[in-house]
Structure 1
Amino acid sequence: MGLRSNVSQRQRRLGQELRKLREAADVPRAEVCRRIGIHTPHLSNIEAGRTACSEARLRALAEVYGCTNKALIDALVEMSNASGKGWWTAYAKTLETRVIDLAELEAAATAHRSFQWLYIPGLLQTPDYMRSLFARTNPAAPIEVIEEYVNFRLRRQQVLVEEPLPNYHAVIHEAAFHMKFVDRKIMQDQLEYLVQLAHFPNITIQVLPFSADAHPATPGAPYTLLDAQVPELCTVHVEQPVASVFLGDPAQINRFATDFARLSAVSLASLDLTGQLGEGSLGLVHHLLYLMKEGKNAGT
């Protein structure tokens, strides 16, 4: 079997997890290869995600490593058996690998925890908000390119309403509602859309107000925690100006999870937890909507 020229995030993560099991077991690579009947370069390619690992071979590796975590082994087998082909495959030739990898990760995630402080999270954006954002980010982009990104993001959003429904929890800093990336009418429609989304049983939206006693930049960038079937396979997607980063180290996962819990704790009550216009995230959103409809500056 030939080596992959393009390694997806899922394939790379599978190899990383198998390497971690080997290193934790402290079994020499040569000994591993002898016991399962492969050459050392083959094992190296498996751990780099450059070649496939059959279910039988994966379970044999787990046995050599003394791994008795059945849930983890089964999850790794499922990851290995996945074809990687989904609706996102149609965009693979036109969009960056990182966004294709993100869509595949989102489709497999059991829960999403997202923090944004400049934009509305992508899975909660209206089409007009997307278009304005993409156009401002890349003014030279042809309309057809912008529409390709819009269509791709709209398809990503379907993950929130497809069975099995994942839990989605967003914390959005109030600053995102005051940015001038979009005009007043687009932002007004976007806020009204957030109120609609908050009625979905699997969606929780909180606003981190300017008055909160917490600095939003602890991790230095917006991020999303993507929970997997087993905690060992959770991933953090960190948005960076040049290229997004996918993190899977347990210490990193714990750091971002702790930060998200802290931000959530000091945020206003979620949009779906109160019907009082003057309270919680709903109260703030309605206040901003009132100012926009009255043509006033939302920052006053």
Structure 2
Amino acid sequence: MPPRLSPTVRQQRLGIELRKMRERVGVTPKNLAATLGTDLPKISQMENGKSGISAERLRLWARTCGCADGPYLDALLAMTQDRRKYWWDGYRGRIPSGIIDVAEMEHHAESLAILHTTFIPGLLQTPAYASAVFARLRPPLPREDADARTAFRIQRQRIFTERPKPYTAFIHESALRMQFGGPVVLREQLLGVLEDSERPGVEIRTIPFSVDTYPGSGESLYLARGPVPELDTVQVDLSQGPKFVHAEDELQTYRRIKEETATIALDPDESRDFIRALLKDFA
């Protein structure tokens, strides 16, 4: 089978874990290739996500590298066996791959926590609000491309009904007041956030302007918990697209930001009251 031209972030992540496993104990690609009965290019392709790995080879890889962490290995094995087609695959070639990778990350996560300072998180956006967010991009998107991104963003919200999981959104007051699409669109959006806050497993936590500062206030971040901590992922918004973070030291930093933010954000009931009060400004 020829190498993948554009591996997904999940496929790349499996490769990253294979490489980390090998490098942790100093096994060379040459020795691993000999043990697996393959060649150096194939080892490289496996480690960069351009080639898959069978369950049998993964077990041999782990034994060669002395990995005896059962839960971690089981999680990697599950990644090798998942070859299904998902709804987001229908968008490949129509929207940037990084946007598709966010939906894949959400689907496979055990829980999700997001911090936003400039706009309402995507899983909570109404169609009109999402359309207005994409309309602000520069250079402007062609109408067909903007519509495809809006439809994709709204379709991601099926996760709340088809694959529900704990979801916490920390939303700064600046994001709650930013008028993408104008006051009528924003009012509808705030009402939508209130409705979503009543979903099982969903927590909306607001951060008022009265909080003078908080960790991570200069960026938006999205923490996806994996089946084991080693497979956690953080997605950060950059101007050129989503960035996915896997390094353990960076993950620890973002976990601490999330924990500290939870100590200063309003609780869910207070947050609902806060949003209801904001609605009066957009009557």
What TM bracket, shorter-length normalisation? over 0.9
- 2:280 is matched with 290
Q: Structure 1: any 5+ residue segments left out of the alignment?
A: 275-279, 294-300
Are 2:193 and 1:203 aligned?
no
What are the within-5 Å matches in structure 2 for residues 90-239 of structure 1?
Answer: 90-138=90-138, 140-163=140-163, 165-215=164-214, 217-218=216-217, 220-239=218-237
- RCO higher in 1 or 2 (8 Å CA, sep ≥ 6)? 2
- 2:77 is matched with 77
Read off the aligned partner of 2:133 and give its amino acid letter.
L
- Residue 53 of structure 1 deviates from its aligned partner by 0.7
Once superposed, what is the RMSD of the aligned Cα atoms? 1.5
Q: Secondary structure of 1:161's partner?
A: helix
Summarize deviations over 1:216-266 as a string: whole Å, max 9, x none. Answer: 545x42110011111111100000011211011111111111101111210
- Counterpart among 242, 245, 263 of residue 244 in structure 1: 242
Q: Secondary structure of 2:141's partner?
A: coil
- 1:296 is matched with none
CA contact (8 A) 1:111 1:227 kept: yes
- Residue 124 of structure 1 deviates from its aligned partner by 0.4
Report the Cα distance in structure 2 between the residues aligned to 1:26 and 1:290, rounded to whole angstroms. Answer: 62
- Residue 148 of structure 1 deviates from its aligned partner by 1.2
Worse-matched range after superposition: 72-81 or 55-64 = 72-81
Report the Cα distance in structure 1 between the residues aligned to 2:29 and 2:140, rounded to whole angstroms. Answer: 51
Report the Cα distance in structure 1 between the residues aligned to 2:37 and 2:131, rounded to whole angstroms. Answer: 54
Worse-matched range after superposition: 134-143 or 120-129 = 134-143
- 1:266 is matched with 264
Report the Cα distance in structure 2 between the residues aligned to 1:142 and 1:243, rounded to whole angstroms. Answer: 18
- Across the two proteins, how many residue pairs are aligned to each other? 283
Q: Secondary structure of 1:27's partner?
A: coil
Q: Secondary structure of 2:280's partner?
A: helix
Q: Structure 2: any 5+ residue segments left out of the alignment?
A: none
Worse-matched range after superposition: 36-45 or 182-191 = 36-45
- Residue 178 of structure 1 deviates from its aligned partner by 2.0
- Residue 85 of structure 1 deviates from its aligned partner by 2.2
- 1:277 is matched with none
Q: Secondary structure of 2:219's partner?
A: coil
Identity of aligned residues (%): 32
Read off the aligned partner of 1:284 and give its amino acid letter.
F
- Residue 139 of structure 1 deviates from its aligned partner by 7.0
CA contact (8 A) 1:84 1:104 kept: no
Q: What TM-score results when the alignment is normalised by the length of structure 1? A: 0.90
Q: What TM-score results when the alignment is normalised by the length of structure 2? A: 0.95
- Residue 138 of structure 1 deviates from its aligned partner by 4.7
CA contact (8 A) 1:213 1:266 kept: no
